[in-house]
Amino acid sequence: MSPVTSVAAKIESALSAAMRQALPADQAGADPQVRRSDRADFQANGLLPLAKRLKSNPREIAGMVVAALDESEVFASCEISGPGFLNISVTDTALLEQVAARLADSRLGIDRFEAGTTVIDYSQPNIAKEMHVGHLRSTIIGDALARTLGFLGENVVRHNHLGDWGTQFGMLIQYLTEHGHDWQHEGEIAGSLSRLNQLYRDSRALFDSDAEFAERARRRVVALQSGDAETISRWEEIVAESKRYFNEVYDKLDVLLTDDDAVGESFYNPFLNDVADELEKLGVAQISDGALCVFFDDVTGPDGDPVPLIIRKSDGGFGYAATDLAAIRYRTGTVSAHRILYVVDARQALHFRMVFETARRAGWLNDEVTAVHVAFGTVLGPDGKPFKTRAGETIRLISLLDEAVSRARAVVQEKSRHLDETALETTARQVGIGAVKYADLATSRAKDYMFDIDRMVSLNGNTGVYLQYAHARTRSILRKAPAGVVEKATVHTGVPLEPAERALALKLDEFSAALREVTTTYEPHRLCVYLFDLAQAFTGFFEHCPVLKAPTEEIRDNRLLLCRLTGDTLKTGLGLLGLSAPDQL
């Protein structure tokens, strides 16, 4: 197993070497800026700005660099164009060697270039409440990042920061105690969560309208916080019931999260006093109107007054911010993470900005140990408004997922009549769940996105199903080859390539760069764009280049292996996004 250097990277390093040779030492390290191009295979744009800095003629500089270029097998040509760009074409042999090298490696030649510990805080539903589409987004995006970073060598620690602590539990437990509702029903998990959710609302309503109940609820919070046995056991029942429901969603969604990843807010409860003391001692936080606060020059309310981050309320209670600070201290200290990713709704941006800044002042975060708010936009319904039912209720997640699967079943049934009932069942699930995930991941995460099941399961356009079909098509070509041919096929690196083959091979060469982009931007969307382009390049290839009826056996072999590498790349890429790639559709 050895990482394979892409053709693009080889060009880049050959150019860099030529620049080191031809240019003054202080400019020699400049980026040659190699990009894919329509005019040739690649274009290098870096010499232009460099010539400007050197106050020299860019074409002359380009000439010197080209002259210093090592005669390598990779370059078919390297021409100076326009004011001083380089147009670069690569040899067919270099492309075919690349295909062969990637096929020979079980990781498709992808390097493990990440090597630290990253905590990814994602999913984070709230106990006793329905999981909503925002939690769905967090779950899907966080899971894709966990898989991708993990594949690239990072030690990923998943933290499902469940909302399992706080004053609302006093209210709920008190209500349950007084009204004795039998909210647990065996075998009907989603149903009982819904009842729990209803009870939660009823308790809230009573809390707001009945001062005496509110007082009893407050006493219940104190009992919970001081570890009163009966109260704690009630709380545990509620947490367990909610977790069962969340796990049902995770199972359906086919994500990595397990019970072991549930490190909820309550986990940090024992550390809150310490954290507050430390922040106060460090001078990061100070008492203001009885509360322990952190202030920021640039965070003010409408009246210009500073809006602090409240660590401890004047009644002594801790809230969301204190918990998040304790979590940072734990994750950077005990877990030894060098990076924490928070996959959370963009509307919490200010909260995280203040929390991260506080942690930086306390020295828990710094240039080497960072935290990133991986923010995402709102989920909209097909009407363009935040996703709700007509009655204004948030839509049950489980029913949404079931709906996607049943739509997918209709699409698959229509297209693939050969599947038997069991295969149809499995495939419908893979396609339906894949459709939901892909639709979320395919838009840049900061944008709001529209939850439109019809579009999600469409065979046309940039959808999960489209990619799953492209993958299945590569497998079907391989299946149709005469027995033994695929197994024996080798890449014939001396055979010239057709334009559609070159286009496909050049796309295959970009896989590692696409993965790297995901890890620098935390945008699984980049991988979606890549896979969609790859599927389209494959369609172009498939339309122009007969595989099994290729003119010679050598060409047939090369084409079969292009199919195989395309299939493997699609499968690996889809897998990193959390989608299954069935061999047959």
Q: Report the residue number, 108 or 136, with the smaller CB distance to ligand ARG.
A: 136
Contact positions with ligand ARG (CB under 6 A) in 1-60: none
CB of 449 to ligand ARG, least distance (A): 18
Check binding of 242 to ligand ARG (CB under 6 A): no
Check binding of 197 to ligand ARG (CB under 6 A): no
Q: Report the residue number, 331 or 409, with the smaller CB distance to ligand ARG.
A: 331
Spell out, one character per residue from 301 to 330, where the chain touches ligand ARG: x when CB under 6 A holds, - when not: -----------------------x--x---
Q: Report the residue number, 327 or 528, with the smaller CB distance to ligand ARG.
A: 327
Q: Report the residue number, 94 or 343, with the smaller CB distance to ligand ARG.
A: 343
Q: Report the residue number, 42 or 451, with the smaller CB distance to ligand ARG.
A: 451
- Residue of the chain from 51, 344, 436, 545 that contacts ligand ARG (CB under 6 A): 344
Q: Report the residue number, 8 or 371, with the smaller CB distance to ligand ARG.
A: 371
CB of 309 to ligand ARG, least distance (A): 13
Of 36, 149, 109, 139, nearest to 521 (Cα)? 149
CA-angle at 585, arms to 148 and 523, nearest 5°: 20
Check binding of 358 to ligand ARG (CB under 6 A): no
Cross-strand pairs, 158: 120
Check binding of 91 to ligand ARG (CB under 6 A): no
Q: Report the residue number, 124 or 168, with the smaller CB distance to ligand ARG.
A: 124
CB of 119 to ligand ARG, least distance (A): 10
Name the DSSP class of 383: T
Q: Report the residue number, 342 or 511, with the smaller CB distance to ligand ARG.
A: 342
Of 567, 563, 541, nearest to 468 (Cα)? 567
**Which range in 121-129, 276-284, 366-374, 443-451 contacts ligand ARG by CB under 6 A?**
121-129
Largest CA distance in the chain: 88
Size of the residue set binding ligand ARG (CB under 6 A): 9
Check binding of 432 to ligand ARG (CB under 6 A): no
Check binding of 373 to ligand ARG (CB under 6 A): no
**Which range in 9-17, 29-37, 120-128, 542-550 contacts ligand ARG by CB under 6 A?**
120-128
Check binding of 427 to ligand ARG (CB under 6 A): no
Within its chain, how far is the Cα of 457 from the centroid?
20
d(CA 486, CA 4): 22
Q: Report the residue number, 195 or 351, with the smaller CB distance to ligand ARG.
A: 351
d(CA 149, CA 114): 7
Query: Are the CB atoms for 87 and 62 separated by under 8 Å?
Result: no
Of 79, 75, 40, nearest to 59 (Cα)? 79
Query: Are the CB atoms for 118 and 155 separated by under 8 Å?
Result: yes
**Which range in 77-85, 119-127, 217-225, 250-258 contacts ligand ARG by CB under 6 A?**
119-127
Check binding of 567 to ligand ARG (CB under 6 A): no
d(CA 304, CA 291): 20
Q: How far is CA 172 from CA 1, 165, 176, 215, 247, in A?
A: 55, 12, 6, 13, 22
Contact positions with ligand ARG (CB under 6 A) in 486-525: none
- Residue of the chain from 6, 16, 43, 124 that contacts ligand ARG (CB under 6 A): 124
CB of 319 to ligand ARG, least distance (A): 11
Structure token digits, residue 316 = 């002594």
CB of 132 to ligand ARG, least distance (A): 8
Cα torsion at 381, 386, 391, 394 (round to 10°)?
90
- What are the start-end ranges of the E strands in 325-399? 339-345, 370-376, 379-380
DSSP string, 408-466: HHHHHHHH-TT--HHHHHHHHHHHHHHHHHHHHHTS-TTS-EE--HHHHT-SSSS-HHH
- Residue of the chain from 163, 567, 573, 578 that contacts ligand ARG (CB under 6 A): 163
Q: Report the residue number, 114 or 130, with the smaller CB distance to ligand ARG.
A: 130
Three-state SS at 535: helix
| Cβ burial, residue 71 (10 Å; 0-12/13-18/19+) | exposed
- Residue of the chain from 118, 126, 174, 458 that contacts ligand ARG (CB under 6 A): 126
Structure token digits, residue 95 = 């492309």
- Residue of the chain from 147, 161, 407, 526 that contacts ligand ARG (CB under 6 A): 161
Check binding of 294 to ligand ARG (CB under 6 A): no
CB of 141 to ligand ARG, least distance (A): 13
Strand order in the sheet with 85-90: 34-36, 42-44, 85-90, 75-81
Q: How many residues does the chain have?
A: 585
d(CA 386, CA 383): 9
Phi, psi of 392 (to 5 degrees): 90, 0
Check binding of 121 to ligand ARG (CB under 6 A): yes
Check binding of 164 to ligand ARG (CB under 6 A): no
Interface residues with ligand ARG (CB under 6 A)?
A: 121, 124, 126, 161, 163, 324, 327, 342, 344
